[in-house]
Structure 1
Amino acid sequence: MSFAVTQPEQYFITKSTPYVPNSPLPVLVYRSALPLHLDPTSTCTTFEPKNWIKGGVFKHYSADHFHSVTHECYAVFRGHSRLLLGRGPLDSEDRDGLFVDMEVGDAIVLPAGVAHCSIESSDDYEYVGLYPKGSPRWDNNFCKAGEEETRTKEANARAVPIPDSDPIFGIGGPLVEIWTKAIHDR
């Protein structure tokens, strides 16, 4: 089965808040990157040979959170959602946040430390959450800890290694090059 793949969109959310570490690594969004007629099994078949492993199948998740021990990929196989990135529930509403619309066939890679949640979704919205092979099980940090704990989680997130494989393109894909450049440019 053939499908069109484009280079990922890049969104930098580098500025930390008192409750959210965010990351020097850009969020990557791959549009229409997955084959048609998706379900959890076919979605995993696309990613797992590229060393991104299924963590679960999820629906609308409105709780602002970030992971400090692993990067995460959402692969949308049903419906659509608007995500809010980079801001937690205790951050002021005028604080910068990024809204990203996700549809069937899209994938987003969230660097460790970047806050994310669904703010509105279709009733049928579902995605597979995938993690680099060998990563520890994800932790959920709900963007409500004090500044000292957030700085500790920030140090943890910055120490998460860059995966050796892009979730869409595999070895030699753009994620590794883009993220390596971001680390060297900071």
Structure 2
Amino acid sequence: MEAQSVTPYLLQPHGSIPNNQRLPLLLYQQVFQATGDLTSRFKTAFAQHGWAGSWVNGVYSYHHYHSNAHEVLGVAAGRAVIIFGGPGGKEVAVTAGDMAVLPAGTGHCLKSSSPDFKVVGAYPAGQENYDTCTEQDDPDEKKRHIAQVALPESDPVAGKDGPLLAYWK
């Protein structure tokens, strides 16, 4: 990890998007310099630190969240604006090398992106069978699931001494 510039955002519930009332969304700026094969660098770092089920794609263009898993998104190419927290939520510009760690329940939706935008996603070990919830799901039921999601054992790129553990204690 080349930079430890991390910004936390504790998101309040928004409509039927519950967000997480205990754990903040963490935005990491320039975890890796935007050169070389960032897909491999993110996948390798995630795997080394116990974040599994990695995939490479974009971000859905509708508001959704996961009630049974935390998620990490490493920006491997391009740039985008992602809305966190549900409709009218926090709009964040991300570029290659940035990363977001979303606690269970955090709404996210792609607002706009460059044609080459792609992310590497992963989940803490044991949480790879994540659900995909939308505004149509019962937020009260999903809040019960969110409250039961175990904390990860390590930061997805910095391991056991990483900033995630300090913010999510």
TM-score, normalization by structure 2: 0.91
Partner of 1:129 in structure 2?
Answer: 121
Paired residue secondary structure (2:55): strand
Corresponding residue SS for 2:72:
strand
Aligned-partner residue type, residue 28 of structure 2:
Y
- Judge conservation of contact 1:79–1:121 (CA < 8 Å) in 2: yes
Q: Name the one with the larger strand percent.
A: 2
Q: 1:69 to 1:154 in 2, by over 3 A?
A: same
CA apart distance, 1:55: 2.9
**For residues 11 and 66 of structure 1, do their structure 2 counterparts lie closer, same or farther at Cα, with a shift above 3 Å needed?**
same
CA offsets 1:136-177 (integer angstroms, 9 cap, x no match): 4111101223xxx21110110121111010112101212112
Q: Determine the structure 2 residue equivalent to 1:110.
A: 102
Alignment RMSD, CA only? 1.6
Q: Which runs of 5+ in 1 are unaligned?
A: 181-186
Match of 1:158 among 147, 161, 168: 147
Query: Partner of 1:34 in structure 2?
Result: 32
Q: Which residue of 2 aligns with 1:169?
A: 158
Q: Which residue in the other structure is 1:53 paired with?
A: 52
Residues 100-132 of structure 1: per-residue CA shift (max 9 Å, x gap): 111000010011001001100001100111111
What is the SS of the residue equivalent to 1:8?
strand
Alpha-carbon distance between aligned partners in 1 of 2:17 and 2:158, rounded to the nearest angstrom: 29
Indicate whether 1:73 and 2:72 are aligned. Answer: yes
Q: Tell me if structure 2 keeps the 8 A contact 1:81–1:103.
A: yes
Where structure 2 has 5 or more consecutive residues not aligned to the other structure, the ranges are none
Shift of 1:34: 2.0
2:42 aligned residue: 43
Provide, for residues 53-102 of structure 1, a one-character-per-residue CA deviation record: whole Å limited to 9, x for no partner.
Answer: 243111242011000000000001100110101114xxxx5xxx111111
Whether contact under 8 Å (2:74, 2:100) holds in the other structure is: yes
TM-score by length of 1: 0.84
**1:39, distance to aligned residue in structure 2 (A):** 4.0
Aligned to 1:19: 16
Letter in 2 for 1:75: G
Larger radius of gyration: 1
Answer with 31-40 or 162-171: which moved more.
31-40
% identical equivalent positions: 31
Number of the residue aligned with 2:6: 8
SS of residue paired to 1:9: strand
Q: Who is 2:61 aligned against?
A: 62
Distance 2:43 2:2 in 1: 18
The 2-side partners of 1:158 and 1:115 are apart by: 15
